[in-house]
Amino acid sequence: MTSTQTVVLETVRKSNVPDSLIRTAAVLTGGLMTTWPAIYNEFPLLYPDSMTYLGDGPVLARKLFLHQSSNYYGMRSFFYSLGILPLHWNITAWPIIAFQALLASYLIWLVVRSILPQRTVSVYLAVMAVLSALTPLSWYASIIMPDILGPALYLTFYLLTFARETLSRAERLTICAIACWGVTAHATHMILGAGLCVLLIGVMLLQRRPKRQFYRAAGEMVAILVVAAAAQLALYGYFYGAPSLNGERPPYLMARIIADGTGRTYLAQHCGELRWELCNRVQTLNGDADHFLWDGDGGWGGASPAEQKEMRREEIPFTLATLRAYPREQISKSMAAFWQQLQTFGIEDLDPSSWVAEQFNDVLPESRSHYLASRQANNTLRIEEFTAFHIWVVRAFLLVIVVLLPFVWRRLSIQLAGLGIVIVSILIANAFVTGSMSMVDERYGSRVIWLLPFLVGLSVLDSSLRTGLGPKVRVALRRTARRR
């Protein structure tokens, strides 16, 4: 925590300000910290997909509330587009960043409070300062994308499972609502959330929790997933006439199998006997999933809406047939992609984009001049330097884990152990799901990697405050530095 933050905290304490106001001020301060990349950029950060999320909201709302149909409703999450619509109304994107930052700040506050209830404010501000300055957390809170809602979902499951007693009824209802939005905001969130739910139910069974605790925690997690799935089925069913969990999303899994080579081999050997739409594009397929999805000559990108509908229908049969034909080869490719994704993270695709600038005329016409004056639009964000810095930060925290694990292992509280289970499992599962089922991408790793420094920092602070670990830590770090 900086000297300025310490002075502010002491001033507030001496003024006899109610604890609720102190907590609110702390969360607001933490949220403000995480917006610094947008402030530095002088405009909210935009990924190419950001413009579709911003543009789809009004079209969806007109269909829902005014019954005005459209030929196209979008391929991204309807729930994220609708969720951010009241925050921008095609005027300004800044309220979206403020809301995302406050949401992340609030959940981190609840997690810190569950582990260090006696010194929550000071520890929380210190944690937020480190996470905001040294990790990708602040970048993903400052990008108009649903990526920040994934970690939000996973932290809510931790709170419901391992820290229920620290939550009020209002707080539980709030985080359940956040979790439902997080599940519906991205297809991978549903997969990872369901897997985490199963894992945590298994952990609670091994712990032999009292039945009442077990059923409440498990019931809330399952209810979140069921409500989110039902909402998706209903909403996409209303728009497209048939229930669906993903709407008209691109066939990412098909693109992955084709890029791995096993899919191309299967098509080359079997298209003579198949009548798939995909077989009409065998000659254009290569090892680039992006080329297949987005380029006009890649397969999916250049297909008509009717042809794309056929390829979506063929995706699962094609994937299963390829797996049956080449199980070892595909498993090997998938595991290689998983391992690569586990080590891949960074901030990317924030370079200037003429397409993004063109979309402002329809999406945020009053903000176009402000975007064109931003660092992102003028390619002065220094993304490479920030990415390299984040890589070294993660390596440093991994070193801290190796050094301190013998000291903190036996002193971990139930809450910290539970948080560790959630974070480590999510880091692994996220790499597997995104790497093997979509494509290896720096963004997929970076949106969750900040959870690792969060876990390490809380573990060190908890052990230091409870057991006086500080002197032992300094000795261990000195020995490690000498060896290196």
CA distance 247 to 214: 34
Lowest average pLDDT, out of 5-14, 240-249, 403-412, goes to 5-14
What integer pLDDT is reported at residue 67 of this predicted model?
A: 92
What is the per-residue pLDDT across 368-390, written as a single tens digit (0 to 9) for each? Answer: 999 999 999 999 998 889 989 99
End-to-end CA distance of the chain: 29
What distance in Å separates the CA atoms of residue 253 and residue 437, rounded to the nearest whole number? Answer: 5
Torsions phi, psi for 143 (to 5 deg): -100, 135
Q: Which residues are CB-neighbours of 197 under 8 A, at least 6 positions away?
A: 157, 218, 221, 222, 225
Q: How confident is the model at residue 336 (pLDDT cuts 50, 70, 90)?
A: very high
State the pLDDT at residue 479. 53
- Distance, in Å, from the CA atom of 292 to the CA atom of 177, rounded to the nearest integer, reads 36
For residues 159-184, average pLDDT: 96
Tell me phi and psi for residue 435, to 5 degrees: -70, -45
Residue 7 in this model has a pLDDT that exceeds 80: no
pLDDT tier for residue 9 given thresholds of 50, 70 and 90: very low
Residue 229 predicted with pLDDT over 70: yes
pLDDT for 19 = 77
pLDDT surpassing 80 at residue 13:
no
Q: How confident is the model at residue 468 (pLDDT cuts 50, 70, 90)?
A: low
Q: Quick one: pLDDT at residue 379?
A: 92
For 187-205, how does the pLDDT look when each residue is reduced to its tens digit (9 = 90+)? Answer: 999 999 999 999 999 999 9
**What confidence score (pLDDT) does residue 409 get?**
65
Q: What is the mean predicted confidence (pLDDT) over 397-410? A: 75
pLDDT at 478 over 60: no
Considering only CA atoms, which of 142, 157, 147, 153 is closest in space to residue 101?
A: 142
Residue 397 has a pLDDT of 87
134-171 tens-digit pLDDT: 999 999 999 999 999 999 999 999 999 999 999 999 99
Give the tens place of pLDDT for each residue, 385-401. 998 999 899 888 888 87
Alpha-carbon dihedral sign for residues 107, 429, 192, 142: positive
Task: Give the whole-number percent of the chain exceeding pLDDT 90.
Answer: 64
Query: pLDDT at position 2, please?
Result: 46
For residue 353, give both structure tokens.
Answer: 């984009």
Distances (CA, A) of 467 to 94, 122, 124, 408, 460: 43, 18, 19, 10, 10
The mean per-residue pLDDT over the stretch 349-356 comes to 86
The pLDDT-based confidence of 17 (bands split at 50, 70, 90) is: low
What is the average per-residue pLDDT within 440-464? 90
Which residue has better confidence, 410 or 339?
Answer: 339
When the pLDDT of each residue in the chain is averaged and rounded to a whole number, the result is: 88
Answer for the pair 182, 197: CB distance below 8 angstroms, yes or no.
Answer: no
Would you state the structure tokens that stand for residue 182, as one six-digit string? 């997080």
pLDDT tens-digit series, residues 34-43: 999 999 999 9
| pLDDT tens readout for residues 282-304 | 888 888 888 888 888 888 888 88
Residue labelled with tokens 């619509």: 85
Contact in structure between 124 and 113 (CB atoms under 8 Å): yes
Task: Write the pLDDT tens digit of every residue in 53-97.
Answer: 999 999 999 999 999 998 888 888 999 999 999 999 999 999 999
- At residue 398, the pLDDT reads 86
Comparison of pLDDT for 462 and 59, the residue scoring more: 59
Q: Closest Cα partner for 330 from 257, 431, 250?
A: 257
Q: Output 225 or 242, whichever has higher pLDDT.
A: 225
pLDDT of residue 214: 93
Confidence at residue 461, expressed as pLDDT on a 0 to 100 scale: 84
> Per-residue pLDDT for 408 more than 80?
no
Q: List, as own/partner pairs, every contact residues 294-297 make where C-beta atoms lie below 8 angstroms and the sequence separation is at least 24, other chains included.
A: none
The pLDDT assigned to 413 comes to 81
